[in-house]
Amino acid sequence: MAEGDLITCDVAVLGAGPGGYSAAFRAADLGLKTVLIERDRVLGGVCLNVGCIPSKALLHVASLISQADAFREHGIGFDTPRIDLEKLRAHKDAVIGKLTSGLAGLAKARHVDVIRGRGVFRDARHFEVTLAEGGTAVVRFESAIVAAGSEAASLPFLPDDPRIVDSTGALALPLVPKRMLVIGGGIIGLEMATIYAALGASVDVVEMLDGLMAGADRDLVRIWEKHNGPRLGRIMRQTKVAGANAKRDGLHVRFEGDNAPERAEIYDLVLVAVGRTPNGRRIGAERAGLALDERGFVPVDRQMRTNIPHIFAIGDIAKEPMLAHKAVHEGHVAAEAAAEKPAYFDAPQIPSVAYTDPEIAWTGKTEDALKAQGLPFGKAVFPWAASGRAIAMGRDEGFTKLLFDPETKRVIGGGIVGAHAGDLIGEIALAIEMGADAVDIGKTIHPHPTLSESIGMAAEVFEGVCTDLPPARKR
């Protein structure tokens, strides 16, 4: 590609994460000449390269270590695991490589023109790309889809030290520390705490709010807390980091708040997991006249259109929740709208999953939110202590919960805590999408013994016909 080349296309997509590549591939499938601009050397964005996928590879390893330890009580003992970080990194990178090479093949098969470089708006019809190979190129588009994602938020008062990392740095596995601090008790922080604790680190967690995993119902989180109490060090709620000093013997961290230690604690590694910020202010939005809100999100309508009708925005840069699966669906909508199809993003539910141990998954309305809003609802819970499969697995600490509209008895939300909760939540998501009621789910024959049948049994509990629990008290 020569310096200053002008490339013309029907659709230009800025960012090749799950939302971006899905939008580009869908646009190409619809017959539109498509250009995909990506700043990194491989496709996949944060999720595939330094987020969802590598973390799940490491969480699987952590799960195997924990399972091996748990089965000592059942007569099967293993030696203490020997952690070879170099091989573990290679395994993680191989998982990533298999998926990134697959994406490159999919782009080639669709004749999507992939341009590697950092793109910004030149105006409302052009991107200017600083090419990874050197030089610049200009992309002229009829429609643009902005999928430029987000960046890990930082704490500016912390020192600049390689022992203080964000999620990307933590996934690089620089070391297995003796003591680690996770700042932020959200999903990302607790997933990384799960990994490092399994690898042998003593992990403390500090969270400003009074609870962990904001957005999840407290009854789900309590099961996680009970299960992980012995595994983790301190969990300091309603506490924040007041400052830190980087010294040769470690990072000396000071705290303040309800559960703050009196003295500074010393850590070998500190993970900052305090959320993510959208990249709206990094794309030259003002040159295109693209509106941003005060946080840097790009406001969009139901077709993912911005204030400029031929420019769309999807994924983390458009709105919360910042989830890859939401971005994919938004990408399809934007591509179809760009092709003048009647497509709209109007999801009644978007699942959330914490791939911790145990996993926590929820979708639709949550019990805590309904209570806070004073809205009526019906609830049914099936405890995994009555699940044959959960007991056989030695993982009966969890439960499945369904929430219903009290008048129609249709499912409006649900949550699961336990092994493979993330794999199970899709059935509840489908029930909400299809407008299923308790009878629809309860009368669906689930295989036995499985964890999935707990969803059907929760529906039976709501109907008062569950025979796997003691009879319900008559009201």
Catalytic (active-site) positions: 448
288 known ligand binder: no
Sign of CA dihedral 333, 337, 341, 342: positive
CA distance 47 to 406: 38
187 known ligand binder: yes
CA distance 19 to 41: 17
233 known ligand binder: no
189 known ligand binder: yes
56 known ligand binder: yes
Contact (CB, 8 A) for 169 and 201:
no
Contact (CB, 8 A) for 365 and 377:
yes
115 known ligand binder: no
Cα–Cα distances in angstroms (integers) from residue 460 to residues 27, 59, 163, 275, in the given order:
44, 33, 51, 38
207 known ligand binder: yes
**What one-letter code names the amino acid at 355?**
Y
53 known ligand binder: no
Name every residue whose Cβ is closer than 8 Å to that of residue 454 and which is 6 or more positions away in sequence. Answer: 382, 384, 387, 390, 399, 400, 416, 424
192 known ligand binder: no
Q: How far is CA 469 from the centre of its chain?
A: 34
Name every residue whose Cβ is closer than 8 Å to that of residue 380 and which is 6 or more positions away in sequence. Answer: 401, 402, 404, 438, 458, 459, 461, 462
359 known ligand binder: no
184 known ligand binder: yes
In 10 A of CB 106, how many CB atoms?
A: 15
In the chain the first and final C-alpha atoms are separated, in Å, by 75
20 known ligand binder: no
* b/e code 274-293 from CB counts within 10 Å (16+ = b): bebbbbbeebebeebebbbe
185 known ligand binder: yes
166 known ligand binder: no
398 known ligand binder: no
Phi, psi of 468 (to 5 degrees): -95, 5
Contact (CB, 8 A) for 36 and 113:
yes
258 known ligand binder: no
106 known ligand binder: no
Beta-bridge partners for 383: 399
Beta-bridge partners for 52: none
- Report the binding-site residues for FAD: 56, 119, 316, 322-325
- Report the binding-site residues for NAD(+): 184-191, 207, 275
- Report the binding-site residues: 56, 119, 184-191, 207, 275, 316, 322-325
